[in-house]
Homo-oligomer: A and B are copies of this chain.
Amino acid sequence: MKYSFSDRVQNLKPSAIREIFKYSANPEYIALSAGNPAPDAFPVEAIAEISQKLLIESPISVLQYGTTEGYLPLRNFLISYLGERLLYKQKDSLLITSGAQQAMDLLTKSVLNKNDVVLCEAPSFIGSLNSFRSFQANLVGVEVESDGVNIDKLEAALQTHKNIKYFYTIPNFQNPSGVTMSLAKRKKVYELCRQYGVLILEDNPYGDLRFAGEEVPAIKTFDEDGIVVYVGSFSKVIAPGIRVGYVAAPEELVSKMVVCKQGEDVHTNMWGQIVCHEFMTKYDFSAHIKNLQQIYRRKAQILTDAMEKYLRPKQIKWNAIEGGLFAWCTLPEQIDMYEYIQKALAEKVCVVPGTAFLTDENQPCSSFRINFSTPTDEQLLLGIERLGSLL
């Protein structure tokens, strides 16, 4: 039989990042291309303890169908946890999602028609971009600078394009650039989007992973107009394999997202939801976060030292790393990024080409992304040494 596909998937292709992942699965390669949390960052013993108790004392709560909105004790807890941090507003509702990725999918499904515009940072997280693409969004990238999105260009984009549905931003330790948006820019972004009647999709998976510098308030904290859809994730602060995220947004939006979620996967898996709830309420969550920060601070230091030693002399530049999982490196102008990455692969080092994170992969780009959470210390050192030796 000859299959015919929907217009929306005709042009979806497996991403460049997946090609790189094929190499990185090979243990002979040094994979600086992943985005996985460090395995020693998982609260393994607590989860084992919670799970065991749960399956003895209340197994049916784990095994029976749950509600689409999410496990009620976790929802209630998050509402107050976020409320205290000004991340949940009076007219908001909260939906537990199957990982934060699903929040991107559900918002897009709820508000975007084919060819409607999504403004996003350039570069931005490829998983979200592909999710938007699957709804035939017209993606418009706005340049990211070392203190966040270029405000003039954002304003120009808001003026130029019609049917803009939202501006997608990862304001903390952005994936892939590692950049954190300044407070001044956050306020300006909020004002501009309010003025143009455009929603803000604020994706904050890395906010808790700050190990240097000062915390900057989320855009959601300014939200008196009901324009910010705030997305959180347990993937980086508890574990990604459990697939639990959440979205706090105006109730009108969330109620549509709930209907969409019902048709997608009915509800988020119960075990993951209950584990998150128990861990956040019965364990010392803030001590756990401090521990994660220490783990990543140490890793980032090893990376930075190695980059200073091996990459700085070769005129490779990077943004200072204050949190998150990634470093964004930029090659000297005369170097062809693709050729460089191919050479790195030949030396069995995998990094991700910066173009993978652009709205148009054919735009020029001389940057690449390095992940420092997954590789061992030795791999990190050796990988950076080899990357330096290529120039």
Please give the residue numbers on chain A whose beta carbons come within 8 Å of chain B beta carbons, in ascending order: 1-9, 12-14, 35-37, 39, 42, 44, 47-48, 51-52, 55-56, 59-66, 97-99, 101-102, 104-105, 109-113, 127, 130-131, 133-134, 165, 194, 197, 199, 225-227, 235, 239-243, 250, 252-253, 256, 259-260, 262-272
A sample of 16 more A-B contacts (CB under 8 A), given A5-B256, A6-B113, A52-B52, is A1-B199, A5-B111, A6-B110, A8-B109, A44-B63, A51-B55, A61-B241, A65-B241, A101-B264, A102-B265, A109-B134, A127-B266, A131-B263, A242-B270, A242-B271, A271-B271
Question: Are B48 and A52 neighbours in the complex by a CB distance under 8 Å?
Answer: yes
Give 23 pairs: A residue, B residue, CB < 8 Å, sorted on A: A1-B225, A4-B111, A5-B110, A5-B256, A6-B112, A6-B113, A8-B113, A9-B259, A39-B64, A42-B63, A44-B55, A47-B59, A66-B241, A98-B264, A101-B263, A101-B264, A101-B265, A102-B265, A131-B264, A241-B269, A242-B270, A243-B267, A264-B265
* A63 and B239 within 8 A (CB): yes
Cβ of A55: which chain B residues have Cβ within 8 Å of it? 44, 47-48, 51-52
Q: Closest approach, in angstroms, between the C-beta of A271 and any C-beta of chain B?
A: 5
Closest CB-CB distance, A50 to chain B, in whole Å?
9
Which single residue of chain B is at the shortest CB-CB distance from A271? B271
Closest to A249 in B: B3
> Which residues of B are found within 8 Å of A256, using beta-carbon distances?
5, 9, 12
